[in-house]
Amino acid sequence: MYTSDPYLDGITDSESGATQFLRSAGIDMRENGGFRTLDDLSDAEERRLTSQLIARGYDVSELVRPIHKNSDGITLDELSTVVNACGRLGEPGKGVEILRTEGDSMKDRVLSKYGRRISSAMGFVEDNPSRLSLSDGVGVIDADSEVGEEFIGVVVGICMGSETLREADVAAGLAEAEDGVKVSCRARSGLVDDGLDLGEVVSGIAEELDAEGGGHGAAAGAMLPEGASEEFVSMFRERTAAYT
């Protein structure tokens, strides 16, 4: 229920929504005292799940992908998610331990904590619409100190995949950090195909603001000095306007 790639309206970040969806597909969530994963579904359950996704209008092509496992039967997507979560939670040691031991209990605790942090961040965004702006295809989220710098990029991605910033072609999120202001930016693939290189845009702006930044075509970030947020946003809007 904490998946954010892709974002599923009514399911992502909603325990009740996820539960109701699985029940409507006739799928039991638990088995032998624990939660089941996608890999645990039977062929018939996978077909019912796919049918329900199609019936609700979700793009199944974004959801269906090969499942690769390691020697212990753990999907590599799941391991990648857990290790990423450990890094964002500031607990890299747990990520190493999980890779070494495949510790299910630790993995579940990490994912639960990660999910709560994402839900909290998204709750702030939803409850404070004044912190969002959308103009000419450019979205901006000013999270101040309410969203951790490690999570602002996740929030931007989720917002662009949901109704929050679905109309945005590019977006930037700003969050207070120890060393200044963390900026995380995202662009839709169509703009990248048209020639937008968000890494170049953000690194160029950062250099002019005596800051550090960089990235690649679709995603970029920077660490700004305090007081530079408004100038960054203005320059970001100006330099991406030709693509939106």
pLDDT tens, residue order, the chain (244 aa): 445 556 677 777 677 888 888 888 888 888 877 778 777 888 888 888 888 888 877 766 666 555 555 555 566 667 777 888 888 888 888 877 777 776 567 777 888 888 888 889 999 999 999 999 999 999 999 999 999 999 999 999 989 888 899 899 999 999 999 989 999 999 998 899 999 999 999 999 999 999 999 999 999 999 999 999 999 999 999 999 988 8
Measure Cα distances from 180 to 195, 211, 223, 232 in Å: 30, 10, 6, 13
Check: CB of residue 115 under 8 Å from CB of residue 146. Answer: no
- pLDDT at residue number 135: 93
Q: How far apart are CA 216 and CA 24, in angstroms?
A: 40
pTM, to two decimals: 0.68
Q: How far apart are CA 110 and CA 102, in angstroms?
A: 13
Query: Domains of the chain by range and CATH?
Result: 15-121 (no CATH), 130-243 (3.10.310.30)
Pair 207, 239: CB distance under 8 Å = no
